[in-house]
Amino acid sequence: MTGVLIVGGSIAGVRTAEGLRRLSYEGGITILEAGPDLPYDRPALSKQLLAAGESAESVMLRSQADLDKAGIELRRGCRAVGLDVEARTVRLADGALIDYSDLVIATGSAPRKLPAAHGVHYLRTLRDALDLRDAIEGPVRVVVVGAGFIGSEVAAAATARSASVTVVEPYAFPLGRVLGDLVGKRLARLHESKGVQLILGRSVREVGADGAGGRRVVLDDGTTLDCDVVVVGIGATPRTGWLAGSGLDVADGVGCDEFCHASAPHVFAAGDVARWPNALFAEVMRIEHWTNAVEQAGVVAWNIVHPDKPRAYAPVPYVWSDQYGSRLQIVGRPRADDEVRIVLDDPADGSLVALYVRDRRLAGAFALNAPSQTLQLRRALAARAPLDEIMATIGVEY
C-alpha cells in the first residue's frame, strides 16, 4: 500500500485522517483500530453518557458513511503488534504486514491499573462507560479511587444519578498535585457541597469481595469501605508496548521533535501517546487531553502533506471538565509549586480564576465557571504577554 497508515482510531487518528483530506491529500488513508467500535467521542463518555444519561449513539463521532465519503478506510478489530521502520511495515496480530508511505502512531493511552484490585471499573472505552452506567443506576454505594479528572467526573455523574459516593485520594486535595492546595481546597468544597464524602491523604491497599455480594475497599490505614461499585481513575500510561523492538524512543510515549516527527523517517505521533518539545513553554510535554489530540492531529496532517515547510507544534495546553454543573478549565502548565494568584472569586456564581506564576511569567491558569476569562488567559499565554499587562486586564489582585 502507498499512503498514510494511522494506528489508532480515536480522535487523534480520525482527525489526522480528516486533516489529510482537508489538505487535499490524495493517497490512501487506512486507520487500524484494535477495538470493535466506530470512532466515538471520549470526553463525552464521562460527560454526556455517564452524567447526562445520553445514548451511545450520541457519542459516536463518525458513521461508516462519513468515513467512506472521506475516502478513509477504517479496519476495526485490527491490532498492530510490531513496527519495522526500515521495511516501513506494521505487523498485525494475525501476522499480516501492512506497508506505509507515512505512519501516524495514535494508539493513545491505557488506564493505569490499581494493584490488588478485583472487580473494579475503569473508564476508557465506550463499553467501560456503558458498563459503569448500568452499575451506578439507582441508590448504590460507589467508591471512586482517585480525585483527578476522571474520578471527579465519575463522582459527579454518580451523585447526579442518586448514588452515594465516597472518593479516596492519596493527595491532600482533589487535583492538588497539579493545582496546589488553594485551588484543591475549593474543589474539595465543590465535591462536599454535593454530599460526596472525601477521604484525602489515603491510598487503597486492596479491593476484594465484602462477603455479601458487594466490594470491600481496604485503605492503607486499615479502614474498610463496603460498597456496590468501585471505580478507579488513577491516571493512564501511553500505549507503546507494540513498539518494543522498533528502535523508536518510547521512554514515556513516542519521543518526537517539534514537528511531531518520531525518531525514524516517515513516522509521526499524535495524541496521548506523543511526547514532544513545546517551544512556547520550553518544555517537553505529553498531554492526555482531547484538545491536544485534535490540534496535534492537524499539525501532523500538515507536516505529512508539506514536508518541505513543516509546522512546529507549540500549543497552549487546554483542558476542561464538567463536574456538578460547574465547568473547570485549565490553560497552560500550572504546577502545584507555582505562585498562585486569585484574581476572581465570586461566591455568588461560584466563579474562580487562579493564575499560576513562575519566574515572573504566567505559566498557566485555572478557572471555575469563568469561560471568558479563560479565553483571555489562553490568548495571553499564546502571545507570551507580560504578567503585569495580564494582571491589569484580567482584574484586581486581592
Partner 1 sequence: MKLFIEVEKCCGFGECIALAPDLFRMGEDNRARLIGAGTVDQADEERARTAAFACPAEAIGVEE
CB of 212 to partner 1, least distance (A): 42
Angle of the 11-22 helix axis to the 290-305 helix axis, nearest 10: 40
**Residue 339 CB contacts under 8 Å (≥ 6 apart), including other chains:** 356, 357, 358
- Report CA-CA distances (Å) from 9 to 42, 143, 148, 264, 318: 12, 31, 25, 22, 22
| 55 lies in the site for partner 1, by CB under 8 A | no
d(CA 376, CA 381): 9
| 375 lies in the site for partner 1, by CB under 8 A | yes
CB of 279 to partner 1, least distance (A): 18
Whose Cβ is closer to partner 1: residue 197's or residue 291's? 291
Site for partner 1 in 209-268 (CB under 8 A): none
| 40 lies in the site for partner 1, by CB under 8 A | no
| 294 lies in the site for partner 1, by CB under 8 A | yes
Please answer whether residues 355 and 340 qualify as being in contact, where contact means their C-beta atoms are separated by less than 8 angstroms: yes
Whose Cβ is closer to partner 1: residue 220's or residue 349's? 349
| 271 lies in the site for partner 1, by CB under 8 A | no
Whose Cβ is closer to partner 1: residue 18's or residue 102's? 18
Please answer whether residues 46 and 154 qualify as being in contact, where contact means their C-beta atoms are separated by less than 8 angstroms: yes
CB of 372 to partner 1, least distance (A): 5
d(CA 218, CA 367): 34
CA 226 to chain centre: 30
| 372 lies in the site for partner 1, by CB under 8 A | yes
| 22 lies in the site for partner 1, by CB under 8 A | yes
CB of 19 to partner 1, least distance (A): 8
CB of 2 to partner 1, least distance (A): 26
d(CA 257, CA 184): 34
CB of 216 to partner 1, least distance (A): 39
Dihedral pair phi/psi, residue 373, rounded to 5°: -65, -35
Whose Cβ is closer to partner 1: residue 30's or residue 296's? 296
Residue spans of beta strands (DSSP E) within 299-392: 318-323, 326-332, 339-346, 351-358, 361-368
Q: Which of 69, 127, 379, 384 binds partner 1 (CB under 8 A)?
A: 379
Q: Which of 371, 383, 389, 393 binds partner 1 (CB under 8 A)?
A: 371
- Report CA-CA distances (Å) from 96 to 14, 93, 267, 370: 23, 7, 20, 51
Whose Cβ is closer to partner 1: residue 35's or residue 43's? 43
Q: Which of 169, 272, 288, 295 binds partner 1 (CB under 8 A)?
A: 295
Angle of the 371-382 helix axis to the 387-394 helix axis, nearest 10: 160
| 153 lies in the site for partner 1, by CB under 8 A | no
Bridge partners for 219 per DSSP: 204
CB of 36 to partner 1, least distance (A): 24
Whose Cβ is closer to partner 1: residue 97's or residue 383's? 383
| 43 lies in the site for partner 1, by CB under 8 A | yes
Whose Cβ is closer to partner 1: residue 2's or residue 372's? 372
| 378 lies in the site for partner 1, by CB under 8 A | yes
| 52 lies in the site for partner 1, by CB under 8 A | no
d(CA 154, CA 148): 10
Element (H, E) at 80: strand 80-84
Angle of the 149-160 helix axis to the 176-193 helix axis, nearest 10: 10
| 291 lies in the site for partner 1, by CB under 8 A | yes
| 325 lies in the site for partner 1, by CB under 8 A | no
Element (H, E) at 159: helix 149-160
**Site residues (CB under 8 A) for partner 1?**
18-19, 22, 43, 290-291, 294-295, 298, 316, 320, 327, 371-372, 374-375, 378-379, 382
